[in-house]
Amino acid sequence: MSIRTAQEQPKLTAGDLDLSAIRKEFPILSSMIKGQSLVYLDNAATTQKPTVVLDAVQEYYTQQNSNIHRGVHTLSERATASYEASRETVRRFLNARSTEEIVFVRGTTEAINLVASTYGRSTVREGDEILITELEHHSNIVPWQMLCGETRATLKVVPITDEGAVNLEQFEGLLSSRTKIVAISHVSNALGTVNPIKAMVAMAHERGIPVLVDGAQAVAHVEVDVLDLDCDFYTFSGHKMYGPTGVGVLYGKASLLAGMSPYQGGGDMIKSVTFEKTTYNDLPFKFEAGTPNIAGAIGLGAALKYFEALDHKALMRHEADLLTYATEQVSAVPGVRVIGTASEKVAVLSFVIDGIHPHDIGTILDEHAVAIRTGHHCAQPVMVRYGIPATARASLAIYNTREDIDRLVAGLGRVVEVFG
């Protein structure tokens, strides 16, 4: 197997990114797993957290811990200020017009369910169609299936090419007067494919069709400007871009959010309640029933500020270099077949090895302290498309290095020795 060792590889030059300093910001990367230093390549599932995020969460619990919006005492005012400051950080990060358009949710899954349950139920009727693609995560399939089941609408699916890309002509051909909403991923979690979202939104809008974009896998890897994309809804999860778990964002155009019914009823989404009538709160609060994940939102704000401070051009060059290098090196392992080779892709390398189950690949790699993901990645239709039950998936982040890829390849060499 003609794969160079780590000693033979040129060290990564990441332009203006100080990789050593970046890695020191993530305490877990210094962990030892089974006597070896950790190589973490499961970032599409969840990213690790920098110290500034951990500190922000700890500061909330140790210096501000209180409920928000309703209290008049000092701790409540501090917590409310921090929480709403994070909302403004999210607004700036996405380039939304107003914080009214930024709804805090538990994550991308809840955001999509919110739109399907509110906008969807008020808009979709029997005989209508909802359009998605074959690339979607289950979270962007199941809510729409549920809505179709309730309304007797039809779920239409845009097929993907052998490379894992969406054909724009086929996408446009499936848009019709019956299409009531388009729901598409910005980046595929299973393949890393980057969809041409701006063009897809424009095609849908020419026919008056609103578009929801699942941005869970995109925000950490490509620049997102919701005004430039002109999408109607955009969703992402904090934990996939260096923030805490259990918090995410739904961006929605204010004109659409204003006409949508609340997703849940309870505290903070109301202005007044009597036994006869409830008056709902203003945007975005009418969609935030109950005590939110205050610490999570504050931690997300810290994560976005951390991320914004990086040189994004250098970051994208670094990740592109890593993906190219990983693709070349992993492809050289005997029996490897890369799944998903679209010309536009980021951060994800999915592959199979002939005659070896992906779970066995992951188990052997874990013995070498290399963490990857194996399975269908909550994208079973993608696996069906390629006629496979699962893939092994190495996914990249800002703190990964060529040395991490070398460790992955060395581990794959051991996999081939054991099972080949």
Rounded to whole angstroms, what are the CA distances from 349 to 187, 305, 346?
13, 28, 9
378 is catalytic: yes
Whole-angstrom distance, CA of residue 332 vs CA of residue 330: 5
Residues with Cβ within 8 Å of residue 375, at least 6 apart in sequence: 358, 359, 390, 391
Rounded to whole angstroms, what are the CA distances from 220 to 224, 265, 282, 370, 372?
9, 32, 30, 21, 18
**φ, ψ dihedrals at 65, nearest 5°:** -50, 110
Q: Please, are residues 182 and 209 in contact by the beta-carbon 8 Å criterion?
A: yes
Q: Of the candidates 391, 344, 346, which has an alpha carbon nearest to the alpha carbon of residue 168?
A: 344
Rg, Å, the chain Cα set: 22
- Alpha carbons within 13 angstroms on the beta-carbon side of residue 306 total 25
Q: Of the candidates 205, 203, 201, which has an alpha carbon nearest to the alpha carbon of residue 226?
A: 201
The one catalytic residue in 378, 389, 403, 419 is: 378
Residues recognised as catalytic: 378
